[in-house]
Amino acid sequence: MMTNLFSIFDPSTNLFNLSLNWISTIIGLMFIPYSFWLIPNRYFFFGNFILNSPHKEFKTLLGKNSKGTSFIYISMFTFILFKNFLGLFPYIFTSTSHLTMSLSISLPLWLSFMFYGGINNTQHMFIHMIPQGTPTILMPFMVLIETISNIIRPGTLAVRLTANMIAGHLLMTLLSGTGNSLSTYMIILLVIAQILLLVLESAVAVIQSYVIAILSTLYSSEVN
């Protein structure tokens, strides 16, 4: 177990010498009521009401040829959002703060885009490398830049999610460890600051889930 500030992101545990903290990836299913799966019911309609707005936006970005693929991004949005929110609870491991989890989401999705676009829409993919109106002398440089930009996409998606989750949790950990030698008024201010930071982290959890899903949708629209 790590003994520094980053020990809160250590996935290992002392039980049977196994990384049981990764079980938090599926522990969210315990919070879903059994009646949610019995259609129709109030839980189903409530969840459908929340996800209807991003679903419409994903369909707009994907175009007429989406053919139900927007549900893939809805599922990814819901999964990441659930993991981010679970990480805000005490003693629950934040799986999205590890590149192992974030890369497991972004890399297979990016590879599927590349294989699908390369096989079915090869010419369409190469068109995106050279913007319209680019001077002839700059075309080789644009192809190089766009190729590098395309290759690093899964890494940027993963690092963006991981960095945002780590930053907020580290700040909350630092604030929670500074209250022992403070006066009563400073402790009250510290508690208020932690509450405000928790609200901010909740907003970051939603925003990062939405950003990852919307960027994946945009990347998908380029190969269709």
98-123: pLDDT as tens digits = 888 888 889 999 998 888 888 887 77
The pLDDT tens digits of the residues spanning 70-100 come to: 888 888 888 888 888 888 887 777 788 888 8
Question: Looking at residues 119-133, what average pLDDT do you find?
Answer: 78
**The pLDDT of residue 10:** 61
More confident site: 78 or 11: 78
Tell me how far apart the alpha carbons of residues 120 and 74 are, in angstroms, rounded to a whole number: 24
* Mean pLDDT of all residues in 12-21: 58
At 1, the amino acid letter reads M
Average pLDDT, the chain: 79
Place of tokens 């019995």: 38
pLDDT at 14 over 60: no
**158 is written with which tokens?**
């993963």
At residue 2, the pLDDT reads: 44
Supply 205's token pair. 């959890």
pTM, two decimals, is: 0.79
pLDDT digits (tens, 9 = 90+) for 144-187: 888 898 889 999 999 998 888 888 878 877 777 766 666 778 77
User: Which own/partner pairs from 66-70 qualify as long-range (CB within 8 Å, at least 24 positions apart)?
Assistant: 69/220, 70/217
Give the model's pLDDT for residue 7: 59
Task: Work out the pLDDT band at 12, boundaries 50, 70, 90.
Answer: low
3-state helix, strand, coil in the chain (%, to 5): 75, 0, 25
User: Binning pLDDT at 50, 70 and 90, where does residue 8 land?
Assistant: low
Distance CA 110, CA 153 (A): 8
Is the confidence at residue 1, as pLDDT, over 60? no
